[in-house]
């Protein structure tokens, strides 16, 4: 009688169990990584409607000594490849036309205090290179920073600190005033009216002599002489060297290069659109400037999703967008 042999029982090795479990974990982990990658991808034609944006990575404001500018008047195609890649649709309201550094205010369309944004008290912010006519003098925050920088450089260049900020939003223009004219734009908070401190007495700043450095160099800091010489036919005002207006460094540099007053500059920019913008290089960075015009209650344009842009109204019928160029 043949005796049947029982099959041998295989011993389960612990090392094989560990290897098998490891393979399973790696497989599941890879699948999850793939799922997360696919889920995180955004559509290329992303459109965002939102409020004004600030640059995510603010750049240090350039000083007057580091200014460089190159411009071209040629209309160039704004965006190659996917036309709207990196840009979102933006809607502007007609009631915002009166806001911004390039708004042109007149007696019939004056600035109002409600339009002032980010105001600071110069008595808290000023440096030692100029004085104030009063304890409380308010100015737009960006303009105040630019004023401090300009006055410090003026003092370093001339060894003088003889300027008085005689007024900003509410300049005294009564009897014996050293700034005898009031301007409708001052309430917006971008204007500086200057006088001179001469051995304890106050003098009118006429734009000449050593102090003429301010009129010649203010554009490097974002200021313009708002009512320059030989432009009365455009501005409607006589030459006022003591009345400065902050418009930002890029706009001031272009206006200086082209010898334009604010009225001429805003009119010049209206020919440039999102599709055919005005292109320039400023401090080694590319920018594009374009306008959107109309008579409707709402204006639509496109702006960089990155937030690297500024919008200003002209206080009439156009918005002007200045954007860091997408590379």
Q: Judge whether residue 196 has pLDDT over 80.
A: yes
**What's the CA gap between 296 and 170, in Å, rounded?**
33
* 5 pLDDT more than 90: no
Residue 177 CB partners (closer than 8 Å, separation 6+): 171
pLDDT tens digit string along 43-65? Answer: 322 222 222 233 333 333 334 43
pLDDT over threshold 60, residue 28 = no
Q: Whole-prediction pTM value?
A: 0.77
Tens digits of residue pLDDT in 302-313: 999 999 999 999
**Tens-place pLDDT, residues 271-301:** 999 999 999 999 999 999 999 998 788 999 9
Tell me the domains of the chain and their CATH numbers: 68-102+275-327 (3.30.200.180), 107-246 (3.30.1380.10)
Residue of 133, 136, 129 whose CA lies nearest to 157: 129
* Structure tokens belonging to residue 8: 């041998």
Q: Is the pLDDT of residue 315 over 50?
A: yes
Report the percentage of the chain scoring pLDDT > 70: 73
Written as one string, the DSSP assignment of 235-304 is HSS---TTEEEE--HHHHHHHHHHT--HHHHHHHHTT--SSS-EEEEETTEEEEEEEEE-SSSEEEEEEE
Assigned token pair, 200:
């304890």
Neighbour-count burial of 87, counting CB atoms closer than 10 A to its CB (0-12 exposed, 13-18 middle, 19+ buried)? buried
Lowest-pLDDT range, 55-59, 219-223, 306-310, 322-326? Answer: 55-59
> Rounded to an integer, what distance in angstroms lies between the CA atom of residue 29 and that of residue 22?
11
Residue partners of 248: CB distance under 8 A and separation at least 6: 101, 142, 222, 310, 322
Pairing mode, strands 285-293 and 318-324: antiparallel
Residue 114 has a pLDDT of 65
Tens of pLDDT, residue by residue over 64-115, are: 433 344 444 444 444 444 668 889 999 999 999 999 999 999 999 999 876 5
In the predicted model, is pLDDT for residue 26 greater than 70? no
Residue 19 has, within 13 A of its CA and on its CB side, a CA count of 5
């Amino acid at each position: 009688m043949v005796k049947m042999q029982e099959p041998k029982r295989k011993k389960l090795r612990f090392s094989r169990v560990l290897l098998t479990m490891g393979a399973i974990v790696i497989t599941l982990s890879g699948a999850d990584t793939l799922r997360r990658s696919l889920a995180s991808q955004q559509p290329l034609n992303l459109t965002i409607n939102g409020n004004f944006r600030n640059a995510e990575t603010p750049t240090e404001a350039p000083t007057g000594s580091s200014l460089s500018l190159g411009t071209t008047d040629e209309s160039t195609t704004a965006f190659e490849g996917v036309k709207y890649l990196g840009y979102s649709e933006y809607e502007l309201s007609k009631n915002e036309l009166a806001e911004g550094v390039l708004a042109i205010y007149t007696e019939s369309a004056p600035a109002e205090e409600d339009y002032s944004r980010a105001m600071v008290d110069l008595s808290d912010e000023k440096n030692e290179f100029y004085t104030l006519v009063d304890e409380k003098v308010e100015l737009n925050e960006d303009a105040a920073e630019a004023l401090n920088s300009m006055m410090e450089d003026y003092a370093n260049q001339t060894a003088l600190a003889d300027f008085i900020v005689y007024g900003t939003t509410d300049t005294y223009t009564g009897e014996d005033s050293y700034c005898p004219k009031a301007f409708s734009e001052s309430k917006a908070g971008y204007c500086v009216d200057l006088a001179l401190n001469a051995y304890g007495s106050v003098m009118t700043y006429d734009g000449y002599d050593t102090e003429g450095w301010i009129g010649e160099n203010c554009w490097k800091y974002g200021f313009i002489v708002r009512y320059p010489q030989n432009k009365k036919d455009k501005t409607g005002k006589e030459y006022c060297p003591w009345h400065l207006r902050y418009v930002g460094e890029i706009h001031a540099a272009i206006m200086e290069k082209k010898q334009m007053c604010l009225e001429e500059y805003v009119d010049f920019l209206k020919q440039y659109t999102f599709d055919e913008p005005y292109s320039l290089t400023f401090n080694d960075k590319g920018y594009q400037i374009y306008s959107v015009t109309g008579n409707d209650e709402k204006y639509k344009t496109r702006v960089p999703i990155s937030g690297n842009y500024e919008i200003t109204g002209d206080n009439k019928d156009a918005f002007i967008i200045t954007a860091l160029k997408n590379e």
